[in-house]
Amino acid sequence: MSIKKFRQILFNSFLIIIFFYLENAFSQNKISNVNIASSNLPLVFINTDGQTIKDQERITAQMGIIDNGNGVRNNISDEFNNYNGLIAIELRGSSSSAYPKPQYRIETQDSLGDNLNVSLCDLPTENDWILYGPYNDKSLLRNVLSYKLSNQLGRYASRTVYCELFVNYEYLGIYV
């Protein structure tokens, strides 16, 4: 990669960071009660059947994903079209597990509880997934931007997709 291309990537990324910082700094809108009927982001629904998601102890749950593709609204009334099946889920992180927006480790499974490799939201096929809740990153950009820059520079980093997360019918916000 040329120095010119690298500088252009950094400059574009810098502009994105400044835009989101200013947007958050000057926004007076406080959302306390959110009612999501549709979104441009994939909708991820997890149902634990009343079980509590714990740290270091995976529980079996059901997960469904609605992802109609780029540029198409995802409605909560749509059928699960990206994934509809079993998962094992647990809290992820030591200090972050106490945040109001916890992180989750997910393993997609078949009906026998064995690993099931699937592609979620156009990401490569895998059975181990992370739902990262950027609680300390109000811009929702820090990790995503650094991963994207790393990949553009030819270094491996996790690929990411933003999504709207619902756990037991409660909206938890935007996750990565």
3 state DSSP class of 20: helix
Residue ranges covered by each domain of the chain: 39-138+159-175
Res 20: pLDDT? 47
Q: Cα–Cα distance between 175 and 49 in angstroms, integer?
A: 21
Radius of gyration (Cα) for the chain, nearest Å?
17
Please state the φ and ψ torsions of residue 36, each to the nearest 5 degrees: -100, 120
Contact indicator for 96, 103 with CB cutoff of 8 Å: yes
Kindly report the pTM of this predicted structure. Answer: 0.79
Strands 74-75, 38-39: parallel, antiparallel or unpaired by DSSP?
A: antiparallel
Per-residue pLDDT of the chain (176 residues; tens, 9 = 90+): 555 554 555 445 544 554 444 444 444 444 445 678 899 999 999 999 999 999 889 999 999 999 999 989 999 999 999 999 999 999 998 777 677 889 999 999 999 999 999 999 999 999 999 999 888 888 888 888 888 898 899 999 889 999 999 999 899 999 99
pLDDT at 123: 94
